A and B are shown apart, each in its own frame.
Chain A
Amino acid sequence: MMYRIFCLLLLSPPLLCAQEMFQLAPPIMGYSSVFFAEKATVTLQFAQNNTQIRYTLDQSDPTEQSPLYTAPIAVTNSGTTVKARVFGAGFLPSDVTAATFFALGKKVHHVTHTPPAAQYPGTGPRTLVDAVGGNTDYRNPGWLGFNQDSLVVVVDFEKKAKVRSVLLDFLQSEGSWIFLPGSVTVEGWDDKKRQYVALARREWRSETPAQRVQCVAEELRFSTAFRTKQLRLTIRPLAAIPEWHPGKGAKGWFFVDEIIAY
C-alpha cells in the first residue's frame, strides 16, 4: 500500500556521535540547466546567519581556505564541476553540493523515442535534446522516467556529422528507487552498409550505494570518430536492484533528461 514504510534499523546520528555537534545542511545551488551554449551561470545560497559558502572549480572538495562565494559563478569550460560547501563556527561543515556543466554538441534535427512511464513524460518530444537538464529532483518535469521498458532513441542530425562520443545525463536517486540504467548501447547508421553499426556500449550494476542524490553524466567515447546522420541508442533498466537496497530483485527505474553528441 501507499506510503508503506520499511524502516531501516539504523541508529540515528545523535546516538552515533560522541561529540554533540550538529552538521550544516548543504548550500542551495541554482542554475537554469547544466547544459550551455556559451556559458552557464551558477548561484549559491544558504539563509543561515554566521555561515559561509565556499566553492571550488577543480574537483577538490571545498575547505575553509577555498574561495568564498560572493557573486554568481560563470562556467564556460565543458566538464567543469562546481562544488560548494557551507562552513560555520560551532557546526560541522556541510556535505558537498556539486554539479557538472557541459557544452552543447551537434545540432539535432529530429529525435524520436519509445514512450516513458506515464507519470514521468518529460516536457514534449524534444525533452532529450532541449538543452535543459540537471535538476536532482525526480519530480522535475525535465526527466523522462523508465522502469519496465527499454528506451530506444533515434537522433537525426541536421547534416551528416563526425561524431566522437555521446553524453547521457541520468538521475541517481536510489532512495527513490532511481538507479543508473543497466546498459547503454550506441549505434550509428552506416549509409554504405545500409545498417546500424555498434559504436559504444557501457553497463552499470549499482553494486554499492551512491553517496548522494545526483545527476550523473556518462560520456561514451567511440574508438574512432564516425560520420553519420543518425544515431540509435538503446538504454535498458537495471535488471535487478541489488541486495543492499530494500527494493532488491525488482527492476530499477532510470531517469534521463538529455542526450548530446559531440
Chain B
Amino acid sequence: MHRRKFIQIAATAACVPSVLTPTERGAVILGHNNKRYRIDTQWGALDAQKYPVNDCHEMVQDRQGRILLLTNDTRNNVIIYNKNGQLITAWGTEYPGAHGLTLFDENGTDTLYICDNNRHQVIKTDINGRVLLTLDYPKAANIYQKADEFIPTETAIAPNGDIYVADGYGKDYIIQYNARGEYLRHWGGRGEGAAFLKNAHGICYDGRNPERPTLIVSSREENAFKRYTLDGQYLSTIPVPGAWVCRPVIKGDYLYAAVLMSANRPMQQSGFVTILDKNDRVVSNIAGSTPTYTNDQPEPMYQTIKVFQYPHDVCVDDDENIYVAQWNSGKVYPFKLTPV
C-alpha cells in the first residue's frame, strides 16, 4: 500500500488558553499592501443537521449576486447564499466527488461546470442543477486506458465556449473540448520540463490582456502556476515557492488563489490565501508571510497566522469581498474577508 495514496491528517485542533489581551478575530487585519482584509469566520455557518457540508471545495458568484458553494456532501452538493451568508437554497445529490465548480456566462445565461472526482466526469448544469451535458474521459485522446484514470479537478471555459478540463488527480493533462463536448486536443501531463505539470489542480482563462488571452494552470505540487496559449503552447512559469496553490481566480487586475498548505509544514493545516498583481508578482498573503522578492524571485512563502486550515478555493465577489472554502477542515463553512 502506497503511503501517499492515503495521506491523512492527525488533526490537533487544540485551543490554547490566552494569556494575552484578547483581540477579536474580526479586528485582526490580514494581508499586505493594498490587499488587506478583516475576516468573518462565521459568515457561512449553517445548521449542520439541515445543510451539512463535508469538504467545501469551490465557490462562485452568479449573475444574481448569489454565492454558490460546492461540497461533496450528497445531501446538498450546491449551497447558495446571499452575500450576507444567509441561505437562499440548496440542490444536488448526485455528486459524491464534487470538486470543481466553474460558472460560465453563456450568452446571458449562467451555466455551471462540476468536476466529479468519483464519477470521473465533468457535468454541465443550469443554475438550478438541471444537467445539460456530461463529459466522460476523452477516449479520442488515446491517453487513458479506462474511465477511472481520468480524475478531473477543474474546468475553465473560454469565451467561445471551449471547455478546458484539468485532470489534476488523474494524469495531469489539460484536455480541450469544444462547447459541444467534442475532444479537440490535450497537453501537459507529467514529465521533466517546464511545459509539464505536477498536480494540475486548477485552471482559469486569463483575459486581463484582451489582445493576448491565455490560460493559467496550477502545478500545485510544484508550487507554481503555468501559462499557456489557448491551444496549449507553454509560455511561462509563475513561481509561488512554498505555496500549494489551488485554482487561480481572476478578478479585475488581480489573481487570487487559495493555498492548500505551506511546503514547510505539509499536511499540518498550514494554508493561506495569496494574491498576485497583473505582473504576476505576489502582493499580499492573507494569513501568510510578507511577500518579498530577491533578485526578482519570490522568497518562499508560508502561513504565519493560523486562520485557515486547508483553504481550497476563493471566490471574489462584485464588491471585492473574498469567500474562502476549505478542504478537510472539520466541516467548517466558508469564511468571508472584507477589504479594509
Question: Once bound together, how far apart are the Cα atoms of A251 and B44, in whole Å?
Answer: 40
Q: Which 8 A-B pairs have the closest CB atoms?
A: A90-B23, A12-B330, A47-B289, A48-B304, A20-B25, A47-B290, A17-B15, A175-B10
Please name the residue on chain B nearest to A6 by beta carbon: B8
With A10-B330, A13-B306, A47-B289 already in contact, the answer to whether A21 and B1 are too (CB < 8 A) is no
Which of A11, A22, A23, A137 lies in contact with B266, CB distance below 8 A? Answer: A137
Question: Once bound together, how far apart are the Cα atoms of A89 and B332, in whole Å?
Answer: 27
A124 at the interface (CB under 8 A from B): no
A134 to chain B, nearest CB (A): 14
Q: Which residues of A contact B42 (CB under 8 A)?
A: 14
Q: Number of A interface residues, CB 8 Å?
A: 57
With A12-B330, A49-B290 already in contact, the answer to whether A137 and B7 are too (CB < 8 A) is no
Q: Are B18 and A14 in contact (CB under 8 A)?
A: no
Q: Which of A1-28 contact B (CB under 8 A)?
A: 1-17, 19-26, 28
Q: Which of A86-143 contact B (CB under 8 A)?
A: 89-93, 119, 137-139
Q: Are B270 and A13 in contact (CB under 8 A)?
A: no
A46 at the interface (CB under 8 A from B): yes
Query: Could you show 21 A-B contacts with beta carbons less than 8 Å apart?
Result: A5-B327, A7-B331, A14-B25, A14-B41, A20-B26, A21-B22, A22-B305, A25-B270, A25-B306, A47-B289, A47-B304, A89-B21, A91-B28, A92-B18, A93-B16, A119-B2, A147-B3, A175-B8, A175-B268, A211-B12, A213-B268
B117 at the interface (CB under 8 A from A): yes
Please name the residue on chain A nearest to B307 by beta carbon: A22
Q: Are B28 and A22 in contact (CB under 8 A)?
A: yes
Among A76-84, A216-224, A242-250, which stretch is in contact with chain B? A242-250
Q: Which of B14-35 contact A (CB under 8 A)?
A: 14-18, 20-26, 28
Q: Are A5 and B55 in contact (CB under 8 A)?
A: yes
Interface 0/1 of B24-64, CB less than 8 Å to A: 11101000000000000110000000000011000000000
Residue of B18, B54, B292, B327 contacting most chain A CB atoms (<10 Å): B18
Q: Are A47 and B8 in contact (CB under 8 A)?
A: no
Q: Are A7 and B55 in contact (CB under 8 A)?
A: yes
Q: Which residues of A contact B329 (CB under 8 A)?
A: 12
With A19-B22, A176-B8 already in contact, the answer to whether A7 and B306 are too (CB < 8 A) is no
Q: Number of B interface residues, CB 8 Å?
A: 60
Which of B5, B305, B328 lies in contact with A48, CB distance below 8 A? Answer: B305
Q: Which residues of B contact A210 (CB under 8 A)?
A: 10
Q: Are A246 and B8 in contact (CB under 8 A)?
A: yes
Q: Are A91 and B8 in contact (CB under 8 A)?
A: no
Please name the residue on chain A nearest to B26 by beta carbon: A20
A18 to chain B, nearest CB (A): 8
Q: Which residues of B contact A145 (CB under 8 A)?
A: 3
B135 at the interface (CB under 8 A from A): no
Interface 0/1 of A228-256, CB less than 8 Å to B: 00000000000000000111001001000
Q: Are B23 and A21 in contact (CB under 8 A)?
A: yes
Q: Which residues of A contact B13 (CB under 8 A)?
A: 10-13, 16
Q: Are A25 and B302 in contact (CB under 8 A)?
A: yes
Q: Are B7 and A11 in contact (CB under 8 A)?
A: no
Q: Which residues of B contact A209 (CB under 8 A)?
A: 10, 12
Q: Are B270 and A176 in contact (CB under 8 A)?
A: no
Q: Which residues of B contact A14 (CB under 8 A)?
A: 25, 41-42, 332
Please name the residue on chain A nearest to B301 by beta carbon: A47
Question: Once bound together, how far apart are the Cα atoms of A1 and B55, in whole Å?
Answer: 17
With A23-B306, A92-B20 already in contact, the answer to whether A2 and B169 are too (CB < 8 A) is yes
Residue of B26, B151, B264 contacting most chain A CB atoms (<10 Å): B264
Please name the residue on chain B nearest to A90 by beta carbon: B23
Q: Are B15 and A3 in contact (CB under 8 A)?
A: no
Secondary structure type dominating chain A contacts: loop
Which of A2, A11, A176 lies in contact with B267, CB distance below 8 A? Answer: A176
Q: Are B21 and A16 in contact (CB under 8 A)?
A: no
Q: Are A23 and B12 in contact (CB under 8 A)?
A: no
Please name the residue on chain A nearest to B270 by beta carbon: A25
Q: Are B24 and A20 in contact (CB under 8 A)?
A: yes
Q: Are B3 and A253 in contact (CB under 8 A)?
A: yes
Q: Which residues of A contact B280 (CB under 8 A)?
A: none
A178 at the interface (CB under 8 A from B): yes
Question: Once bound together, how far apart are the Cα atoms of A7 and B151, in whole Å?
Answer: 20
With A21-B18, A24-B304 already in contact, the answer to whether A8 and B11 are too (CB < 8 A) is yes
A189 at the interface (CB under 8 A from B): no
Q: Which of B264-305 contact A (CB under 8 A)?
A: 264-268, 270, 287, 289-290, 292, 299, 302-305
Please name the residue on chain B nearest to A148 by beta carbon: B1
A257 at the interface (CB under 8 A from B): no
A50 to chain B, nearest CB (A): 11
Q: Are B54 and A91 in contact (CB under 8 A)?
A: no
A177 at the interface (CB under 8 A from B): yes
A172 to chain B, nearest CB (A): 11
Q: Which residues of A contact B55 (CB under 8 A)?
A: 5, 7
Question: Once bound together, how far apart are the Cα atoms of A22 and B41, in whole Å?
Answer: 11
Q: Are A25 and B331 in contact (CB under 8 A)?
A: no
Q: Are A245 and B25 in contact (CB under 8 A)?
A: no
B224 at the interface (CB under 8 A from A): no
A258 at the interface (CB under 8 A from B): no
Q: Which residues of B contact A93 (CB under 8 A)?
A: 16, 20
B309 at the interface (CB under 8 A from A): yes
Q: Which residues of B contact A169 (CB under 8 A)?
A: none
Q: Are B290 and A174 in contact (CB under 8 A)?
A: no
